[in-house]
Amino acid sequence: MAEYDVIIVGSGPAGIFSALELVKESKLKTLIIEKGPDINKRKCPERLTGKCAHCEPCRITSGWGGAGAFSDGKLTLSTEIGGWLSDYVGTAELARLVDYVDGVYRAFGATDVVHGTDDEKIRELQRQATLADMRLVPQKVRHMGTDRSNDILKLMKRHLDPAIDIKTGVQVINILVEDGRAVGVRTGSGEEITGRFIIVAPGREGADWLNVEARRLGLAPVNNAVDIGVRVEVPAVVMEPLTEELYEPKLIYTSKSFQDRVRTFCVCPYGIVAPESTDGITTVNGHSYADKKTDNTNFALLVSTVFTEPFKEPIKYGKYIARLANLLGEGIIVQRLGDLMDGRRSTPERIARGTTAPTFTDATPGDLSFVLPYRYLSDIREMLTVLDKLAPGVNSRNTLLYGVEVKFYSSRMKLTPQLETEINNLYAIGDGAGVTRGLMQSSASGIVAARAILKHNS
């Protein structure tokens, strides 16, 4: 039976940064276990053939680097965006962590260019957003790009390889607990690996697994919101009033019809729309590259829903909506906004007649009103109307809507400020633990857990 000081489950940003901090400050015997492949083997068949092969696990969301390996690579230098880590460590400490994590990314090759630094222009955009009944969250953004993100993650693995053990293609089935203390993990092959400290960082791909394990271990979860919406694609010039200065504008709107929170998410200037698969479900996403550009900009419009009693399965609800889109569209559905407003489906001919050429050509022209509930569509249309005041042309009949985009934020367990669960020496971090929802805070959560373990051993 293998024995370690620290076992890290998952090699996304949270798990990687835990390991980076541990090897920097100690010689603890550390193991990372990842169910997906090594980063050099993360080849998505869809990128080559245009057809999703439903790899298990998905090459886009699983493997070294997690979903971040193929993300847009945006480092949001703000405490207001990217999760709930401040609930545990406080805003001042989170600000210090953001600065520290940013420095690590730069040390491994992230660009020195930061967007959103002109305070005068940002104040004017905030004024315009307020007049349009929206809130613009000011933030600085360091954009690595999907291609550069991949390179940086490879460098991080190369740095860690001599110092720790890394097992890819190995799935953890159970967390082992004795007398209220985590003592190891059991893999899919039945192997039991012992560890004095266990850090679970399964990412969004492993959110369901962690939720099931938490319930099995008697850890009461608290449901987070589920975000459901569409990815919007417009000519890049339409969004330039916002993206030229901010790169990724964070706009929040409260709908008049239902008082729902609607927000922009993952803005990809000059980028592409792309699919991603999780547990056999295909949803839509977007990317921008550091060294190549398209004529379009895409972004998500997401409606946040927090379900109350008696319903306790927000992730299942989000997956139900995604499966319905897959059923009707054989994957991703695309619809012109004008067709949606006219109550008719889009066709290839109607898409071709539009002024926005889709960057994802394998989406099925269809009708999103058969997929998204009226409440969500009403909220999204309201948001597009007010957003048009800041970026005229967003609410054009030729704007493309891809569906569906769903962001699953796993149920949160009761955690200490060090992100330790009610089981001693078991830490839960990152997006899969419902603590974060983005690269920066996910990476920072890994630092928090690692420092707590180092303190135990000091």
> Identity (one letter) of the amino acid at 373?
P
The Cα 135–Cα 281 span in angstroms is: 33
CB 252 within 8 A of CB 137: yes
CB 64 within 8 A of CB 168: yes
Nearest Cα to 318, choosing from 439, 437, 227?
A: 227
Residues of the chain with pLDDT under 70: 1, 44-54, 59-60, 68-69, 223-224, 308-312, 408-411
The Cα 257–Cα 383 span in angstroms is: 11
406: its two tokens? 């769903």
DSSP state of 36: S
82: its two tokens? 């990217």
Check residue 48 and give its pLDDT. 55
Check residue 392 and give its pLDDT. 97
**Domain 3-118+139-222+412-456 CATH (choose: 2.60.40.10, 3.40.50.970, 3.40.50.150, 3.50.50.60):** 3.50.50.60
What are φ and ψ of residue 2, in 5° steps? Answer: -70, 145
> What crossing angle do the helices spanning 13-25 and 439-456 adopt, rounded to 10°?
40
Q: Where are the domains of the chain?
A: 3-118+139-222+412-456, 226-408
What are φ and ψ of residue 25, in 5° steps? Answer: -110, -5
Sheet of 400-408: strand order equals 134-137, 250-254, 261-268, 296-305, 226-235, 400-408, 333-336, 364-365
The Cα 8–Cα 180 span in angstroms is: 19
* pTM, to two decimals: 0.83
- Count Cβ neighbours within 10 Å for each residue of 287-299 and write b for 16 or more, e otherwise: bbbbeeebebbbb
Check residue 364 and give its pLDDT. 96
The Cα 234–Cα 298 span in angstroms is: 6
Residues 6 or more apart whose Cβ sits within 8 Å of residue 259 = none
446: its two tokens? 């890994």
Pairing of strands 192-200, 426-428: parallel
Work out the angle at residue 310's Cα, subtended by the Cα atoms of residues 417 and 382, and round it to the nearest 5 degrees.
85
